[in-house]
Amino acid sequence: MAKQRLGVVFGGRSVEHEVSVVSAMEMMQSIDLERFEPVPFAVTRDGRWLTPEETRAQIDRGDALFAKRIDADVPPLAERPEVIAALAGNDAVFPLIHGVNGEDGTLQGMLEMFRIPYAGCGVAASAVGMDKALQKQLFERAGLRVARHVVVMSHEWAGGDAGITRGVEQRLGFPAFVKPSNGGSSVGVSKVRSREDLGEAMSAAFGMDRKVLIEEAITGRELDCAVIGNDEPQTSPVGEVVAGGEFYDYAAKYLDDSARIIAPADIPAGASDAVRRDAVAAFRAIDGAGFARIDFFLPDDGVPVVNEINTLPGFRPVSMFATLWQKAGVSYSELVSRIVDLAFERFRQREAFGA
């Protein structure tokens, strides 16, 4: 039986570029090589796509972990028919690009136009999953508990910050968290302890996005639950993140060992059941498919607070998503195979409805 050609797309324009490169390299080494032939497609920091041959030359460089950056002086994708032809020659594609043009529904839309099965959430779910403000609206409508928050657009802040600052003080209080509405790996996120700190935090967040989310600081344990599935999503055991600093930031996630992952989390069975139930509800609220990781806070009252959904979570074998499934007896290799099977299932559904 011929191997299935699995395109692995990684890199991209996001600040998580180097994380994506590491994830792709480790995936291609760890998948079921009797079933799949991995075909790598690297995307540079300015959004230019490389052929599989060019990509292999890039990843063969002996750079340090999280220091490998994809750089190449090649034309844009629209001027590279050889890349498009190579992409179209795959049986399925596994997107591993975080952020813009990878996690936000645009890559998913392109793959649907090319009628290529792909792993993970569809166009709408990916777009909503990228926007923290929009997903909170859907979570609230689904009856899920979310942190109190304020959404501020860049033109509103530029028009005068005094009223916004008063509103934050009255509705949320301090401390509070300021974050870009569209972003990942806690990049651009600041903890604000007083109104005097707000301006600097807003400037940092607006450097990443035109829409900023200000949230009340929730005191509680940080929990994660992984989901895989289409119509009948399944949940992993619940994991806990114990941050070594103020919060689980980019450095703690990737660059140092200050944070600990505890899986399964040492929480009451009732709390675990509630988190897993709400994880499925959050996944369904955005019309999720394939896989996702849902992040929670667990305050002292025991009622989970949905923080956000990640439709393309960190996908290294040691990342929280894979670790949680390993605790459920699902190996990394099997996890990738299941997600690709779900991609084929979703593709057949779309084809059946002419979508």
Question: What CATH architecture does domain 149-216 belong to?
Answer: 2-Layer Sandwich (3.30)
Q: What is the pLDDT of residue 250?
A: 52
| Residue 348 annotated in active site | no
CA-nearest of 229, 262, 244, 231 to 339 is: 229
* Start and end residues for every CATH 3.30.470.20 domain found in the chain: 138-145+219-346
Alpha helices in 47-158 (DSSP H): 52-59, 81-88, 106-113, 123-130, 132-141, 154-158
16 is catalytic: no
The fold of the 138-145+219-346 domain, in CATH, is: D-amino Acid Aminotransferase; Chain A, domain 1 (3.30.470)
* 308 assigned to active site: yes
Residue written as tokens 């003080």? Answer: 169
CATH 3.40.50.20 positions along the chain are 4-118
- Residue 129 CB contacts under 8 Å (≥ 6 apart), including other chains: 103, 121, 135, 286, 288, 292, 309, 310, 311, 312
CA distance 237 to 224: 9
Per the residue annotation, which of 90, 182, 307, 310 is the catalytic one? 310
> Would you say the C-alpha torsion 338, 340, 341, 346 has a positive or negative sign?
positive
Tally: H helices and E strands in the chain:
13, 12
Give the mean pLDDT per block of 10 residues along the chain (355 residues): 95 91 96 98 96 96 85 95 98 95 95 97 96 96 97 90 86 93 75 92 92 94 98 98 64 56 95 98 98 97 96 94 97 98 97 81
**Residue 322 phi, psi dihedral angles, 5° rounding:** -70, -35
pTM for this predicted structure: 0.91
Catalytic residue among 104, 229, 295, 316: 295
Active site residue 333: no
26 counts as catalytic: no
Is 293 known to be catalytic?
A: yes
CATH of domain 4-118: 3.40.50.20
Please tell me the predicted confidence (pLDDT) of residue 259. Answer: 72
- The verdict on whether 314 is a catalytic residue reads yes
